[in-house]
Chain A
Amino acid sequence: MENIGALALILAFCLAIYSFVASIVGAWKKKPFLIASGERAVVAVFAMITLSVGILLYALVTSDFRFAYVASHSNRDMPVYYKVSSWWGGQEGSLLLWNFVLICYGLVVVLQNRKKHRPIMPYVTATLMATQIFFLVLNVFPASPFQMLAQGRNIVEVQDGNGLNPLLQYWTMLIHPPILYMGYVGFVVPFAFALGSLIVRQPGDSWIHTTRRWAIVTWFFQSTGILLGAGWSYAVLGWGGYWVWDPVENVSFLPWLTSTAFLHSVMMQEKKGMMKIWNIVLVAATFFLCVFGTFMTRSGLVASVHAFATSDIGKYFLVFLTAGIAFTIYMILGRLDYLKSESELESVVSRESSFLFNNLVLLACCFATLWGTLFPVISEAVSGEKVSVDAPWFNRINIPIGLFLLFLTGVGPLLAWRRASAESIKRNFLAPFLAMLVLMAGLAVAGVQHFFALTTFGLCLFVAWTIGAEFWKGAGAIARKESIGLMPAMVALTHRNTRRYGGYIIHMAIVVMFIGFAGAAFNKDITVEVEEGKAFHLGRYEMKVVKVDTGQTDNYVWQNATVEVKVGGEQYATLTPERRIYSQSQQPVGAVKIHRRLNEDLYLNFAAISSEAQRPIIQAYVFPLVTWIWIGYWVLFVGSIICLIPSKVKMSYAKTEVVGMAGANAKVAK
């Protein structure tokens, strides 16, 4: 069986090379049968990779500890769903997941476009397969999941495996890696279409229309993956940190920023025929940053709590990134004439300019994050000095950038295309601006002194007001015209232009998340060693450990503390934070308990039992407003789904422009 798995990967590798060569030669020599053969080879690659995935999963589920990978990342007593998730618990398996997701996308692209986009499809197939070849090289040579445990020349089996890292035995880890990969791998599709379009000098914005949905879907998966990671970190690590600017978190954030910039600037190309080079650059940057992120988590270039074991696969990534970036730059420079702008800006105060600034801010955030992530490496290489770049640096640089971006989120959508008049600016912004000032003044008087939190709350109101006003005005007009209620009118309005109003809902999601981020300014915590029955306090909470229990499951032994919580003398909640020792790894892990409310979370971690007095040590935290981050995600989910629904009214964007202003005595010719 193990031989079939390894052979399937080697065959997939050979077929991917064939598909790449057949597509290029077919397009070059204009041989349709070669092009078709290249596309069919994609189906064969899919079959081979799926077979190897099936074999690995079978080995994991049946605890076949002859496989080195299964022995390292699984054990007999793990529940079957964690055995399945061991697939992406280690380097080799997660690379196989990357290959699997990539070929699934490749298959969908090939099947979807059997009769469409024929001139560029060979190059799209070739780009997809070039990426596939690279990742298959990793799985076939340095990181094969089908290595066997051997003694001398004999394959041997260990009695039980090491088990999955206990921190990964949490429900979000069942879906976080696949979803994140669906986001990162997925951007290869827009990139492949962009590159194909460049190579054949395809006229118009066809590649953008083709890949718009891909871009939205992959962006949504990126967002979901990042937030699932944040949710895991919050609920598992025992101290409630959902984002600490760790290098691996940072590199997952970089392509999200560039893809967000792309989703905005692409509108400039669709509606004005501008920023064509820029859009190609953003798509390429997103794709290469996705690969760069994978490189960072696996190369050991920077220390991270999330990184896979250091390995020597980094050099493979460097070769792929260098070759890919060089080829893309070469293609862009060779096609500058084809990428010329079709129209001009009419005013600095316009929707167009707001997109430019939006892109600038997103890219500034991306660059600052990349710079901060790499600075320790650069500093050591250049000056020989080791430095730390931790959360305080990132917060100092990125919080102002984030707030400016939030401000633009409110301003941009209300500026008119071409030019915004002073009157319209006053009409749209005066009320929300005044409301923002009033709220900030009110909060300051109420005792909120934290500058950034205060600004965030003010800006959140400003943006929410502007978005609400857009819905209110549009839905109000429809309600009056069609004599229907405001809610049906809202639905009708959204359905008329799903992309626009779905986008507004996503903006609202960002607002909601910022409320949650701002809450971090008011976090409180305490670590106490408590005697059973004695109370301790944090904020308005009075807590008492009433008992400590011990027990075991097949997979771990546990110890939990029952903590009664009172507020104002009234019973509020009973929480039972737990500590576990997993049988195979012998690693202690906390299972925190969180009492979630809209205003604040009470978060308890049973950290230890003191050595001398045998008393429980409890870490208690109050995290104000953090729930709004997760609510924000669901708003983002709804907005993204709405963006994907076809609009009821087909929009056409005539690229017209004002050519001049008629004189006072001008007459209309009859």
Chain B
Amino acid sequence: MQKWRNSLLALAVAGWCLAQTGDMVPPEVRRVGDRLACLCKSCKNTVATCQMLGCHYTAPARARISELSKNGVSDDAIVQEFVKKNGKEALAAPPPDGFSLLAYLVPPFAAFAGIGFIGWFIRRHRKPVAEAPALSESDIEKYRDAAAKELERLEE
């Protein structure tokens, strides 16, 4: 009985703790919030997408965004205020400057290196074109198409 009393009490307390937020996320909060990480440490969402009622980070962050936005502060300036307060960690994605620039440069660099490797692989493993006596282009095309059709009929 004691256990259930505790549980019901917890349910009521949880309700009180959780019921801190209001209705829909306004468009300006969603727009700016998409650029800001939720730093509650229990989710990987942004301030726009965090759905935890009464989240100790997102709820006040949304209120602040809304307030600044109503005062005519630009989106960039709002974001900068969060960065000033919480550091670059406040951003949902690293800023493209300083060391963080590497976050953006390394993946495409690796992809280009991969393309380069494929290019090298193809050059190295490509069969040299055999020297063949002259044939009219139309004949060659005919044979090529016939061969291609045959090959396509092969299993895999």
A residues sitting closer than 8 Å to B (CB atoms) are 238-239, 241, 244-246, 267, 271, 274, 303-305, 341, 344-346, 348, 353, 356-357, 360, 363-364, 367-368, 371-372, 375, 379, 382-383, 385-393, 396-397, 416-421, 423-424, 496-497, 500, 525-529, 552, 556-557, 559, 579, 581-583, 586, 588, 605, 607-611, 617, 619, 649, 651, 657-665
Instruction: Give complex CA distance A667, B114 in Å.
Output: 45
Decide: B93 and A608 in contact? CB cutoff 8 A: no
The listed residue (A344, A526, A609) touching B15 by CB distance below 8 A is: A609
Decide: B14 and A581 in contact? CB cutoff 8 A: yes
Question: Chain B residues with Cβ under 8 A from A382's Cβ?
Answer: 99
Question: Chain B residues with Cβ under 8 A from A375's Cβ?
Answer: 94, 102-103
Size of chain B's interface in residues, with CB distance under 8 A?
77
Decide: B100 and A344 in contact? CB cutoff 8 A: no
Answer yes or no: B67 CB below 8 A from chain A CBs. no
Question: Chain B residues with Cβ under 8 A from A500's Cβ?
Answer: 155-156
Decide: B110 and A367 in contact? CB cutoff 8 A: yes
Instruction: Give complex CA distance A582, B8 in Å.
Output: 10
Decide: B93 and A396 in contact? CB cutoff 8 A: yes
Instruction: Give complex CA distance A284, B62 in Å.
Output: 46
Decide: B93 and A393 in contact? CB cutoff 8 A: yes
Decide: A586 and B6 in contact? CB cutoff 8 A: yes
**Further pairs besides A348-B122, A588-B14: 8, Cβ < 8 Å:** A304-B44, A346-B126, A379-B99, A390-B44, A390-B93, A423-B148, A500-B156, A660-B130
B130 nearest in chain A by CB position: A660
The listed residue (A386, A496, A527, A664) touching B134 by CB distance below 8 A is: A664
Known interface pairs A387-B100, A557-B7, A610-B19. Does A392 touch B118 (Cβ–Cβ under 8 Å)? no
Decide: A583 and B91 in contact? CB cutoff 8 A: no
Instruction: Give complex CA distance A659, B152 in Å.
Output: 20
A538 nearest in chain B by CB position: B24
Instruction: Give complex CA distance A345, B128 in Å.
Output: 9
Instruction: Give complex CA distance A608, B94 in Å.
Output: 34
Instruction: Give complex CA distance A271, B114 in Å.
Output: 23
The listed residue (B51, B114, B130, B135) touching A659 by CB distance below 8 A is: B130
Question: Chain A residues with Cβ under 8 A from B51's Cβ?
Answer: 238-239, 525, 527, 605, 619
B88 nearest in chain A by CB position: A387
Decide: B135 and A421 in contact? CB cutoff 8 A: no
Decide: B100 and A385 in contact? CB cutoff 8 A: yes
Question: Chain A residues with Cβ under 8 A from B14's Cβ?
Answer: 581, 588, 608
Instruction: Give complex CA distance A408, B24 in Å.
Output: 40
B107 nearest in chain A by CB position: A368
Question: Chain A residues with Cβ under 8 A from B27's Cβ?
Answer: none
Instruction: Give complex CA distance A423, B151 in Å.
Output: 13
Question: Chain A residues with Cβ under 8 A from B39's Cβ?
Answer: 388
Decide: A387 and B148 in contact? CB cutoff 8 A: no
Question: Chain A residues with Cβ under 8 A from B121's Cβ?
Answer: 356
Task: Give B110-152 as 1s and 0s: 1 = Cβ < 8 Å from A's Cβ atoms.
Answer: 1100110010011001110011111110011001110011011
User: What are the 5 A-B residue pairs with the smallest beta carbon separation, nearest first?
Assistant: A663-B133, A239-B51, A660-B130, A393-B93, A388-B37
Question: Chain A residues with Cβ under 8 A from B89's Cβ?
Answer: 386-388
Known interface pairs A371-B107, A651-B155. Does A583 touch B4 (Cβ–Cβ under 8 Å)? yes
The listed residue (A364, A372, A557, A657) touching B111 by CB distance below 8 A is: A364
Instruction: Give complex CA distance A660, B140 in Å.
Output: 13
Answer yes or no: B87 CB below 8 A from chain A CBs. yes
A344 nearest in chain B by CB position: B127
Decide: B23 and A527 in contact? CB cutoff 8 A: yes
Q: What are 20 A-to-B residue pairs whose CB atoms are below 8 Å? A: A238-B51, A348-B122, A372-B103, A383-B99, A389-B103, A391-B49, A391-B92, A416-B152, A421-B148, A500-B155, A525-B25, A527-B24, A529-B22, A611-B15, A651-B155, A651-B156, A661-B130, A661-B132, A664-B136, A664-B139
Question: Chain B residues with Cβ under 8 A from A617's Cβ?
Answer: 18-19, 53
The listed residue (A357, A383, A529) touching B98 by CB distance below 8 A is: A383
* Residues of B78-98 contacting chain A, CB below 8 A: 87-94, 98
Decide: B46 and A390 in contact? CB cutoff 8 A: yes
Decide: A390 and B92 in contact? CB cutoff 8 A: yes
Instruction: Give complex CA distance A250, B133 in Å.
Output: 56
The listed residue (B10, B91, B130) touching A388 by CB distance below 8 A is: B91
Question: Chain A residues with Cβ under 8 A from B54's Cβ?
Answer: 608
Instruction: Give complex CA distance A157, B93 in Å.
Output: 49
The listed residue (A303, A391, A661) touching B45 by CB distance below 8 A is: A391
Answer yes or no: B41 CB below 8 A from chain A CBs. yes
Q: Closest approach, in angstroms, between the C-beta of B133 and any C-beta of chain A? A: 3
Instruction: Give complex CA distance A617, B39 in Å.
Output: 24
Known interface pairs A386-B89, A388-B39, A393-B92. Does A649 touch B155 (Cβ–Cβ under 8 Å)? yes
Instruction: Give complex CA distance A239, B156 in Å.
Output: 44
Question: Chain B residues with Cβ under 8 A from A388's Cβ?
Answer: 37, 39, 88-94
Instruction: Give complex CA distance A342, B45 in Å.
Output: 50
Instruction: Give complex CA distance A372, B106 in Å.
Output: 10
Q: Closest approach, in angstroms, between the C-beta of A137 and any C-beta of chain B? A: 31
The listed residue (B16, B34, B87) touching A611 by CB distance below 8 A is: B16
Decide: A557 and B11 in contact? CB cutoff 8 A: yes
The listed residue (B4, B107, B126, B156) touching A552 by CB distance below 8 A is: B4
Decide: B127 and A657 in contact? CB cutoff 8 A: yes
A647 nearest in chain B by CB position: B155
Instruction: Give complex CA distance A80, B11 in Å.
Output: 25
Known interface pairs A417-B154, A583-B3, A663-B133. Does A607 touch B100 (Cβ–Cβ under 8 Å)? no
Question: Chain A residues with Cβ under 8 A from B4's Cβ?
Answer: 552, 557, 583
Instruction: Give complex CA distance A487, B35 in Å.
Output: 51
Question: Chain A residues with Cβ under 8 A from B69's Cβ?
Answer: none
B24 nearest in chain A by CB position: A526
Answer yes or no: B42 CB below 8 A from chain A CBs. yes
Question: Chain A residues with Cβ under 8 A from B92's Cβ?
Answer: 388, 390-393
The listed residue (B12, B42, B94) touching A389 by CB distance below 8 A is: B94
Question: Chain A residues with Cβ under 8 A from B77's Cβ?
Answer: none
B21 nearest in chain A by CB position: A527
Known interface pairs A239-B51, A360-B114, A390-B37. Does A496 touch B155 (Cβ–Cβ under 8 Å)? yes
- Most A CB contacts (10 A, CB to CB) among B24, B35, B125 go to B125
Decide: B152 and A241 in contact? CB cutoff 8 A: no
B90 nearest in chain A by CB position: A388
Q: Closest approach, in angstroms, between the C-beta of B148 and any C-beta of chain A? A: 4
B50 nearest in chain A by CB position: A239
Instruction: Give complex CA distance A383, B4 in Å.
Output: 51
B36 nearest in chain A by CB position: A388
- Most A CB contacts (10 A, CB to CB) among B53, B135, B144, B156 go to B156
The listed residue (A360, A416, A418) touching B118 by CB distance below 8 A is: A360
Decide: A363 and B114 in contact? CB cutoff 8 A: yes
Answer yes or no: B63 CB below 8 A from chain A CBs. no
Answer yes or no: B73 CB below 8 A from chain A CBs. no
Q: Closest approach, in angstroms, between the C-beta of B125 and any C-beta of chain A? A: 5
Decide: A424 and B94 in contact? CB cutoff 8 A: no
Instruction: Give complex CA distance A367, B117 in Å.
Output: 15
Decide: B7 and A586 in contact? CB cutoff 8 A: yes
Instruction: Give complex CA distance A421, B141 in Å.
Output: 9
Q: Closest approach, in angstroms, between the C-beta of B142 and any C-beta of chain A? A: 10
